[in-house]
Structure 1
Amino acid sequence: MSTMEEKLLLLLLVTLTGIDAQLDVCGQAPLNTRIIGGEDAAQGAWPWQANLHFQNRSFCGGSLINNLWLLSAAHCFPENIINNQVDLMIYLGRQTQEPPNPNEVSRSASQIIIHPGYSSATGDNDVALVRLSSSVTFSNFIKPVCLAGTGSELEVGVSAWVTGWGTIDVGRPLPPPQRLQEVNVPIVSQQSCNSSYGFITNNMICAGEAGKGRCREDSGGPLVVKNESLWIECGVVSFGRGCGESKHPGVYARVSQYESWIRGHITTNPPGFIAIRMVVRSSSSSMPGSLCVLALTLPLLLFLQQDV
């Protein structure tokens, strides 16, 4: 049994940040039965995953956050794409880059909003919103993800998942039929991450370990954690050095820093924000290993075994 498997997860559900229209549907993946790491993702396992194509080529990912908007990375949209949005296509419900994809729908982009504080030099504030040309209908294969709300905290070692169609290593493209990939990665400390890069800010969160992490063309995709049956996006794939290098974890835009900015642009049918605090404790601690719900008023305190 691995060290992570021997840990318990203490999850503090701080509050539901407002009455969000998406909270009754976001973060649900009924076809996701994965517990431990793998490579190929099961059909419908990550129903919020979006695939962005420019001039018929896959180049970035994103996540569906309501029926009309995607969350992605700012660096996915350089000037040539912003000025040629007619050549941008978004796919939802896609499993492989090669047909058939019977559960897939496609939309063009009607608006791209880059965070005003985005720095291409440092990668700070690497988030963007993409408005679809028309709304999508939710199904088991197309659903929005919940978003980590303001004040959310993820302790070092918490288990997270990253997904995408990027390369599987430096110079190694995803082989046919180019199936959506998934990988389980631990959250890395800000101090350790900053010692690797030297410019990590509070708007970033790091995750990964040797041989596991984001890679080229995964940009804009989601880093998610699981709260019982709900999946919550805590990061947007931003940058890294190499792919899965032990001394250079993947760097992600910290979603909880952008709740106000996202709400300011999506005023109708807002995404589902959930403020969470997730920490890991050694199994040798006095905390019970079985599920224990304490009868408290909000915030609600939960103890549960982490699925890794």
Structure 2
Amino acid sequence: KRGISAQIVHGDPALRPIPYQVALNLIIDGENLIWCGGTIIGRNFVLTAMHCFDQNPYQMFTVAAGAYTIVQTKSETGSTQLRRIKRLHFPLGYNNRTRAYQRRSEKSNDIAIIELDEPFEFNENVGPACLPNAEQMPRSGCLISGWGKVESLKYPRVLQRATVSVFPLEECGYDLTYLNANMVCAGGNNKDSCQADSGGPLVCEHFGKAVVVGITSWGKGCGLDKVYGVYTNVHFYLDF
């Protein structure tokens, strides 16, 4: 299962900030620590994984957009914009009293929409990904990204990215009893996301636009042969 500190495995450094990519930082003793990722879908809204908040309330997080280096995610330096979370929107099943996510099955409905305390200012370094079309979901030309640990188990200095493809559920490499229609799997050539990339984007190009089709959720190991990462299927939640 993907934990709270993930990695892009067998990826490469991004050349610049990825406009829709955000870092969710947990504030501990005044320090911002990389905890999860997310995808900008509007000036006030970010898409992420609900399990990122299993252990800590949303009030303990900052949201950083426009960052390239891991240092830039921690403060408003360079192109970085920092925001706090005003409200967290999630599917039925989340228990506000315990902050524990009650899934229909162990790994289902791993999605949340962050509402920011103030809007992002869109520019060349900060901007949204599109939501998928109700009739069609792109499956190739896809990108995963984040600041999670790399193969050396150290955090990278700069944002990492990897090109992957989306596969049918029966090709994911798991017992199908663990999978359902609200999930997609993606990978190829041992490229994968892992724990501190949780909540981050699986974005595919569709007619020249970046379309968010998945949210980094869980998987078995990282970058294994013919065992792909599992992502929340954004298309399934268009009415959420």
**Which TM class, normalised by the smaller chain length?**
0.7 to 0.9
Shift of 1:47: 0.1
Does 1:219 pair with 2:198? yes
Counterpart selection for 2:143 from 161, 171, 182: 161
Distance 1:199 1:94 in 2: 35
Distance 1:185 1:164 in 2: 14
Counterpart selection for 1:126 from 101, 107, 110: 110
Equivalent residue, structure 2, for 1:71: 47
Cα gap change, 1:141 to 1:260, in 2 (>3 Å): same
| Contact kept in structure 2, 1:159 and 1:187, CA below 8 Å | no
Does 1:48 pair with 2:27? no
Letter in 2 for 1:163: S
Does 1:113 pair with 2:100? no
| Contact kept in structure 2, 1:151 and 1:256, CA below 8 Å | no
Deviation string for 1:188-207 (max 9, x for gaps)? 22112264564110000000
User: Which residues of 2 match residues 84-103 of structure 1 at below 5 A?
Assistant: 85-99=58-72, 101-103=77-79
User: Which residues of 2 match residues 264-275 of structure 1 at below 5 A?
Assistant: none
Q: Secondary structure at the match of 1:257?
A: helix
Distance 2:176 2:158 in 1: 31
Letter in 2 for 1:141: N
The size of the alignment, in residue pairs, is 216
Equivalent residue, structure 1, for 2:224: 245
Q: Alignment RMSD, CA only?
A: 2.1
Letter in 1 for 2:148: G
Q: Secondary structure at the match of 2:237?
A: helix
Deviation string for 1:80-138 (max 9, x for gaps)? 422xx332111000111124941001001011122225628521111001111101111
User: Which residues of 2 match residues 1-308 of structure 1 at below 5 A?
Assistant: 39-44=12-17, 46-55=18-27, 56-78=32-54, 80-82=55-57, 85-99=58-72, 101-117=77-93, 119=103, 122-154=106-138, 158-169=140-151, 172-175=153-156, 178-193=157-172, 195-196=174-175, 198-261=177-240
Uncovered stretches (5+) of structure 2, i.e. residues with no partner:
1-9, 94-101
Letter in 2 for 1:166: G
Letter in 2 for 1:86: Q
Q: Secondary structure at the match of 2:197?
A: coil
Distance 1:164 1:143 in 2: 16
| Contact kept in structure 2, 1:74 and 1:115, CA below 8 Å | no
Shift of 1:154: 4.3
Stretches of 4+ moved more than 2 A in 1?
149-155, 194-198
Greater alpha carbon shift after TM alignment, 61-70 vs 117-126 = 117-126
Q: Secondary structure at the match of 1:260?
A: coil
| Contact kept in structure 1, 2:138 and 2:206, CA below 8 Å | no
Shift of 1:166: 1.1
Structure with the greater alpha carbon radius of gyration = 1
| Contact kept in structure 1, 2:186 and 2:230, CA below 8 Å | yes
Deviation string for 1:146-203 (max 9, x for gaps)? 0113343445xx231101111113x71224xx21110001212211226456411000
Equivalent residue, structure 1, for 2:4: none
Shift of 1:228: 3.3
Q: Secondary structure at the match of 1:233?
A: strand
Distance 1:258 1:153 in 2: 13
Shift of 1:74: 0.8
Shift of 1:247: 3.1
Q: Secondary structure at the match of 2:34?
A: strand
